[in-house]
């Protein structure tokens, strides 16, 4: 990934955290990772633990950001979520997978929250 892509992704994750907080989410963790996976944001929304993938794009020329969360990426997030729930003794906690897509091509970033974007636990 280019340096620009890394900076865009980091800025997107920070913006997504603020966006989710404005919607009533509580951010529990940022960049939860191991060698095999990374989860951008772990949050709580009501009584549900949300594992959030953030995708930021400067344009939609190559498709919508959410399209980059394919099956392989979903499997890594599911694996990470399972580990997170075990490590934090939350096995019986309701959980879901959300995607926040951010498009920065205009003067104001456009946010789109997709709750229950995929299933797995």
Mean pLDDT, each 10-residue run in order, the chain (121 residues): 74 93 97 91 97 93 91 95 95 95 90 93 68
User: What pLDDT is recorded for position 14?
Assistant: 93
Whether 48 contacts 95, CB under 8 Å: yes
Q: Tokens 């919607």 identify what position? A: 23
CATH of residue 66: 3.40.1350.10
Whether 36 contacts 78, CB under 8 Å: no
Question: What is the rounded distance in angstroms from the CA atom of residue 58 to the CA atom of residue 14?
Answer: 16
What separation, in Å, do the N-terminal and C-terminal C-alpha atoms of the chain show?
A: 30
User: What pLDDT is recorded for position 59?
Assistant: 87
Domain with 102, as residue range(s), is 3-118
Q: Is 89 left (phi over 0), alpha (psi -120 to 50) or beta?
A: left
Q: Token pair for residue 6?
A: 């890394």
Residue-wise pLDDT for 11-22, tens only, equals 889 999 999 999
User: What pLDDT is recorded for position 1?
Assistant: 63
Domain count within the chain: 1
Question: What is the rounded distance in angstroms from the CA atom of residue 81 to the CA atom of residue 34?
Answer: 11
Residue-wise pLDDT for 70-92, tens only, equals 999 999 999 999 999 999 999 99
The mean predicted confidence, pLDDT, of the chain is: 92
């Amino acid at each position: 990934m280019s340096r620009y892509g890394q900076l865009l992704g980091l800025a997107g994750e920070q913006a997504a955290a603020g966006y989710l907080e404005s919607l009533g989410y509580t951010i529990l963790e940022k960049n939860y990772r191991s060698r095999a996976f990374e989860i951008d944001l772990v949050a709580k929304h009501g009584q549900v633990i949300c594992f959030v993938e953030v995708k930021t794009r400067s344009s939609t020329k190559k498709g919508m950001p959410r399209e980059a969360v394919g099956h392989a990426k979903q499997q890594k997030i599911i694996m990470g979520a399972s580990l997170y729930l075990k490590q934090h003794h939350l096995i019986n906690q309701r959980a879901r997978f959300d995607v926040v897509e951010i498009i920065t091509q205009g003067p104001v970033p456009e946010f789109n929250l997709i709750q229950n974007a995929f299933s797995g636990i």
